[in-house]
Amino acid sequence: MTSIADTDRLVSLARGMRDLVTAEAAESERMRTLTPAIVEQMWATGLMSAFNPAAAGGVEPSFAEMIETWIEMAWQDGSFGWIGIANLPSSFAAAAYLPDEGFAEVFTANHNRVTLGGQFFPNGQGNAVDGGYLLSGSWSFGSGTGHSQYVAAGFLPMDNGEIRWAAEGLPEMQVAVVPRAQISFNDGWHVQGLKGTGSYDYSVQEVFVPASRTFELFTRRPCRGTSPATRMGLMPVTAAGHASWALGVAKSMLDDVQDLAATKFRMSDMASLASRPTFQKGLAHHRAAWRAARLLVLDAFTTAEAAVGAGEEMTPALRADMRVAAVYATDTARGCAEWAHLVAGTSAIREGSRLERAFRDVYTGTQHAFISEKVAIDAAQIWLGIIDDQPGL
């Protein structure tokens, strides 16, 4: 079991960046990608590579450590937190699952200073050729690509123009790790929230990718790393990230509106916000809901982690539990954010304030398909025995 002291060692790396992230948040939004100062500090602290296997410069954190670190990052700023759940899991996956030759090319040759972002969904096609694939495709919402040396691109392997099948009805899905210089970017990242994430659209046309720089999207067979997370695959790590991010942004809004309450007076109301029973009840309810959602996330992910660590199979039911926890936490966080924005009144609409930025961010980030209602439906169908499994969970 992870102790509080163990968890704090990684959270403290992120917490030490509070002043810098606060100072640079507006500039990140203006640039539409994290500022160089923030990116450099992530490397200087060790945060950028912390989630990696030890062979790639990481500390192989537990899920509790990952979750609490992501909550802290998202509390500071939604875009900073989103980079945490984009770049860190991406490099974790590449470092854990790339074959030895690809790992040496990408990580060892760069002294493990590798930032990876992009889109893992298989929107591309890779025509199999001698030694690898000719990759073509277009991807949207490539989070963290604004400052990434390598870009992830999910694709469907094709043999002589035919889809390669992993099982009946299930195509094989792979991820290519492509050098930035071979990517064509379409800077269409003009959005409502998460402006500072550099989530660019991009494409490639018949770019050769050696097989050594590809890995299976749903693999749970690590080439390196000893933590249970490496044997759980990218989907649970991604799900934990989405849940933690939403909780972190919502917590920032709850904290900020609580701080505001003593000095906030609404027009024609002589009582402060803090003195109003309706606010007090709402604060108690939403604080409790937030804490319950956080505990559910920690329980679901650490339970599965413990099972895998003990050598047990990661069953469809365990995977469903984790994904439902992520969906529930996201829904709860959105409700907390909506309440905080409403009770803050005009203080929450001032451009550039933390409340205003967090509200835009939370309603942008929670649109993601990874925590949609379909995920909850898939999980419920597993519990009900309607389906045996859903590989995407």
Do 150 and 177 contact (CB within 8 A), yes or no?
Answer: yes
Cα radius of gyration (the chain): 21
Going 289 to 295 to 299 to 300, the CA torsion angle's sign is: positive
Distance of alpha carbon 272 from alpha carbon 352, whole angstroms: 24
Distance of alpha carbon 247 from alpha carbon 263, whole angstroms: 26
Between vectors from CA 176 to CA 175 and to CA 179, what angle results, nearest 5°?
A: 145
Round to the nearest angstrom and report the end-to-end CA distance of the chain: 25
How is residue 157 written in tokens?
């392997």
The DSSP call for residue 369 is G
353 three-state secondary structure: coil
Distance of alpha carbon 18 from alpha carbon 22, whole angstroms: 6
Looking at residue 59, what is its pLDDT? 95
153-179 exposure pattern, b = at least 16 Cβ within 10 A, e = fewer: bbbbbbeeeeeeebeeeeebbbbbbbe
Neighbours of 390 (CB within 10 A): 17
Of 3.30.479.10, 1.20.58.710, 1.10.540.10, 2.10.260.10, which CATH number belongs to 5-95? 1.10.540.10
Looking at residue 267, what is its pLDDT? 64
Beta bridge partner(s), residue 208:
134
**Topology (CATH level 3) of domain 115-214:** Butyryl-CoA Dehydrogenase, subunit A; domain 2 (2.40.110)
Record the pTM.
0.96
Do 230 and 66 contact (CB within 8 A), yes or no?
Answer: no
Instruction: Domain 232-382: give its CATH code.
Output: 1.20.140.10
Q: Where in the chain are the domains?
A: 5-95, 115-214, 232-382
Looking at residue 6, what is its pLDDT? 52
Do 214 and 178 contact (CB within 8 A), yes or no?
Answer: no
Distance of alpha carbon 286 from alpha carbon 243, whole angstroms: 16
Distance of alpha carbon 219 from alpha carbon 178, whole angstroms: 19
User: What are the pLDDT tens digits along the chain (393 aa)?
Assistant: 444 445 688 999 999 999 999 999 999 999 999 999 999 999 999 999 999 999 999 999 999 999 999 999 999 999 999 999 999 999 999 999 999 999 999 999 999 999 999 999 999 999 999 999 999 999 999 999 999 999 999 999 999 999 999 988 899 999 999 999 999 998 789 999 999 999 999 999 999 999 999 999 999 999 999 999 999 999 999 999 999 999 999 999 999 999 999 887 876 677 899 999 999 999 999 999 999 999 999 999 999 999 999 999 999 999 999 999 999 999 999 999 999 999 999 999 999 899 999 999 999 999 999 999 999 999 999 999 999 999 999
The DSSP call for residue 183 is P
Distance of alpha carbon 159 from alpha carbon 164, whole angstroms: 6
